Structure 1
Amino acid sequence: MTMQTVRDVMTTNVVYLPSETTLAEAARTMREQDIGDVVVADGPGLTGVVTDRDIVVRAVAERCDPAATTLGEIVTRDLVTVRPEDSIHTAALLMRDQAVRRVLVCDDVQGLVGIVSIGDLAEEIDPDSVLGGISKAAPNN
């Protein structure tokens, strides 16, 4: 049995938005794309990541106006990354140690090549677990 790598389970459809994007626009994009995060980028460099949870906890719960607050105001700038050839177990341990639910997948040539979430890993490591089952289920609309 070959070791599964991050490349085997990562999502390659990364959605980029500029930091001046409002949270309302970002939330609509997440809904339309059926994703839980966007990468914030201004020009060629990555600024950070914003998740649906970030929007709720850092903005909505603080009574910030989603139509006026921008991604740049709530973005997570400390990026946690893995390499495509890393094992899925290495990625899971990194998520545990860094207390994050997703990590960016970067290589030396292309830079950002994907994102892997805890749900992606759960489906592969233990598909019969509760988290694996939830991750495989169709989204609620």
Structure 2
Amino acid sequence: MKVSDAMTTQVSIARPTDSIRQVAQTMAQVESGVVPVVEDGKVVGVVTDRDIVLRVVAEGRSFDSPISEAMSDGEVLSVKEDDVLADATAKMANHQVRRLVVLNDAGALTGILSLGDVAKDYGAKQVGKTLEEISQESDEAQ
């Protein structure tokens, strides 16, 4: 099974200059806890509801600040549409994440792959294994 068989293709995006409030409202409207941040057709970051809580609410930042202040940037973990789903779940486990950005061959965003997508289309056994690996303490924390 390929990533494209399981991923969510209806993905709302944000621009780095969008306000934190705008992105939070988008999350509420589409009932999603993650929004990729795209600039010039490339994913430059990802923001989760957890990022907003930890980097905005907990630090007392303004909701009118740009989302670029709250997003996870640097290396955005991604997979390609035609990657094998088992390899994608292994990547989730290795990096201890529950979601991956899905890109096409040109590097453009085509979807999001979440553990929920995997559960729906790949099976509870694989999700359980991946979740167990994601939830383990990393070697640095031990």
2:109 paired residue number: 112
Give the Cα–Cα distance (whole angstroms) in 2 for the partners of residues 83 and 128 of structure 1.
23
In the superposition, the TM-score normalised over structure 2's length comes to 0.79
1:95 corresponds to = 92
Amino acid at match of 1:81: S
User: What letter is aligned with 1:34?
Assistant: E
In structure 2, which of residues 66, 73, 89 is the aligned counterpart of residue 70 of structure 1? 66
Letter in 2 for 1:50: V
Q: Which residue identity lines up with residue 54 of structure 1 in the other structure?
A: D
1:18 counterpart residue number: 15
List gaps (5 residues or longer) in structure 1: 132-141
Q: Identity of aligned pairs, percent?
A: 34
User: Mean Cα displacement is larger for which, 103-112 or 113-122?
Assistant: 103-112
SS of equivalent to 2:38: strand
CA RMSD of aligned residues (A): 2.1
Secondary structure (helix, strand or coil) at the match of 1:62 reads: coil
Comparing both chains, which one has the higher relative contact order based on Cα–Cα distances under 8 Å and sequence gaps of 6 or more? 2
TM-score, normalised by the number of residues in structure 1: 0.79
CA–CA separation in structure 1 for the residues paired with 2:127 and 2:98: 16
Distance 1:44 1:82 in 2: 16
Query: Number of paired residues?
Result: 127
The 3 A distance-change label for structure 1 pair 109 and 42 is closer
Comparing 39-48 with 4-13, greater Cα deviation is found at 39-48
Q: Are 2:77 and 1:80 equivalent residues in the alignment?
A: yes
Matches of 2:22 and 2:108 in 1, distance apart?
26
